Amino acid sequence: MNTGRLYDGFLPGRYQFDAYGNGGFRFADMSHRGSLLALPSGIRAWPVASMADLTDEVLDPVFAEGDALELLLFGTGADIAALPVAFRTRFREAGIGLDVMQTGAAARTYNILLAENRKVGAALIAVP
């Protein structure tokens, strides 16, 4: 069993996702209801329930990763949705690759790239 603890919505370390759906995720022998950011520094609760909730502030933790992050997989929920141009521009200017897809595909792709020890992160909007 994992001895890590989720404090204030943050669990340090890198973990694969075991499952997703029903409004949340399973990882590291734990479950979480709601959306998540999985970054090289750790996994954190993410206050985004839909694309309408995106702001610069909710994306700040992504950009705080610096050189530790080369690619962000953005899971838009059950349906694919376009990321607004202003956010795409911010990723381009920061030198972080961006791939937008449904949450399930993003979680599966994240697991593969994490197993390859890539500098990958995932912003995952929970699906029902």
The answer to whether position 1 is within a domain reads no
Overall number of domains in the chain? 1
12-56 pLDDT per residue, tens: 999 999 999 999 999 999 999 999 999 999 999 999 999 999 999
pLDDT tens per residue, range 54-103? 999 999 999 999 999 999 999 999 999 999 999 999 999 999 999 999 99
Does 7 reside within a domain? no
For 37, the domain range is 13-124
Contact 94, 87 (CB under 8 A): no
Q: φ and ψ at 56, to 5 degrees?
A: -60, -40
Checking if the pLDDT of 109 tops 90, the result is: yes
User: Is the whole-model pTM more than 0.75?
Assistant: yes
Give me the sheet containing 35-39, strands edge to edge.
10-12, 42-46, 35-39, 120-124, 71-75, 97-101
The pLDDT value recorded for residue 2 is 41
- pLDDT of 1 reads 38
What six digits make up the tokens of 52? 């309408």
Residue 101 lies in a domain: yes
**CATH number of the domain within which 22 lies:** 3.40.1230.10
CB atoms closer than 10 angstroms to residue 121: 27
* Dihedral (CA of 15, 17, 23, 29) sign: negative
